[in-house]
Amino acid sequence: MERRPPSGSPLSSVEKAAVSPSGCEARSPIRVIWPGLVSAAACLLFAGARLVNTGWDVAALAEPGTRYSELDPQGTEGYDGQFTYTVAMLLDPEQVAPHLDRPAYRYQRILYPVVARWLSLGWSEAIPWMLLAIAVASAAFGTSALAMWMLDHGQWEGYALGFGLWVGLVASAGLFLHEAVAYALVALGWLALRDSRPVWGAIALSLALFAKETTLPFWVAGFVIRGTAPEQERNRRLWLAVGGAAFAAWQVWLWRVFGEVGIGSGGAMSTPFELIPLMGFLRIGGVSPEALGLFLLIFGPMVILPAIWGVVASLRRLRLDWFSAEAWALALNGALILFVPFSTAREPLGLVRLATGLVLAVLLFAAALGLRRVLNYSMFWSAMLVLLVQG
């Protein structure tokens, strides 16, 4: 189904030349693919630099700590990717539980590690390489899907790099984290839903829940998409409901096996979501005013202000069109940032990983409404990659 660019969105003469007779930007393969290749290259550059520093020990990308890998109570903590790697290597809940800080919370993100294990045919030496390959490929496919979305709405495909070069996405590929896989599924699923492929779109959004539960806002927003035939709407909502029921059943299974459901805030030493907007950030000032100032300087314009703008802009849009799925996705992802737990707000990498959904939602929303200025500003998000250079 062809879609016209939003009314009133200016197109340069070069862009107009690339528009098809129906009013939709031509989906030439190179225009769709090149942003994905740039994203993949950034992921490989980050992972490659880390591999050099680890003597090409690919398992070390997981940042394992001896507290969980060797079960040493006084050992090092490591980072979250170690749990992805451990689940992929062991898989059996009883074996893997002692090596997880919060077993249900970590094990709920089953899709990425189990796919890596299956594709590696259980060969332990191949599993970490497969984890890296899946993450890099996911970043590429997700970015290319967003590039296609941009073209469908009369925008430059390069705006997809606001997502493809987002630090939370690139970091996830080189640290065995879940964001690249989860949000690639969201981007692919969203595009499929809007392209009148409701079953595939609903399946992709549902699978994203099993990659990382923070994609739930997009799954919820998927229910309000309209403009398709009645039969397609029924199929979309049915398959989304099936996916949601499967995820709920998964949470029940986690509760029976591990004694708690997976959905929650963070791992060990985590704090709950705040009840007052931005309180998670303000609590940093209670510990160190200087740290709060530094956080606001770095993350204020890149995360906090976009979240505030996103909530306000989406609510304004919803006043005009209650069934704007992009507005719902933006409002819910913006709210995640505004009510972020203190334990996440104070950790730079944790914050930018959570903000990956906000970045994707902003780009989907801005392209759909023809907000060219917002899309131009989104290109500055790539500057956050400096956090990886420093770290």
What's residue 264's pLDDT? 85
* Confidence at 19, pLDDT banded by 50, 70, 90: very low
Identify the domain containing residue 156 by its residue range.
29-390
203 located within any domain: yes
10 located within any domain: no
8 located within any domain: no
What's residue 329's pLDDT? 98
**206 has a pLDDT exceeding 90:** yes
> Among 110-119, 219-228, 333-342, whose mean pLDDT is lowest?
219-228
**268 has a pLDDT exceeding 70:** no
Task: Spell out the residues 6+ positions from residue 88 whose beta carbon is closer than 8 angstroms to its own.
Answer: 112, 113, 114, 116, 117, 127, 131
**11 has a pLDDT exceeding 50:** no
Query: DSSP string covering 19-73, please?
Result: B-TTSSB---HHHHHHHHHHHHHHHHHHHHHHHHHTTS-GGGGG---HHHHS--T
What's residue 237's pLDDT? 93
**93 has a pLDDT exceeding 90:** yes
9 located within any domain: no
Q: How far apart, in whole angstroms, are the C-alpha atoms of residue 386 and residue 344?
A: 20
Instruction: For 128-176, write each residue's pLDDT tens digit.
Output: 999 999 999 999 999 999 999 999 999 999 999 999 999 999 999 999 9
Average pLDDT over residues 233-262: 96
**318 has a pLDDT exceeding 70:** yes
| Amino acid sitting at position 298 | I
**303 has a pLDDT exceeding 70:** yes
16 located within any domain: no
110 located within any domain: yes
Number of domains in the chain: 1
Average pLDDT over residues 355-378: 98
378 located within any domain: yes
What's residue 25's pLDDT? 53
User: Which pTM does this prediction carry?
Assistant: 0.91
Average pLDDT over residues 38-65: 96
Average pLDDT over residues 111-130: 97
Q: Which residue has the higher pLDDT, 29 or 113?
A: 113
* Confidence at 9, pLDDT banded by 50, 70, 90: very low
22 located within any domain: no
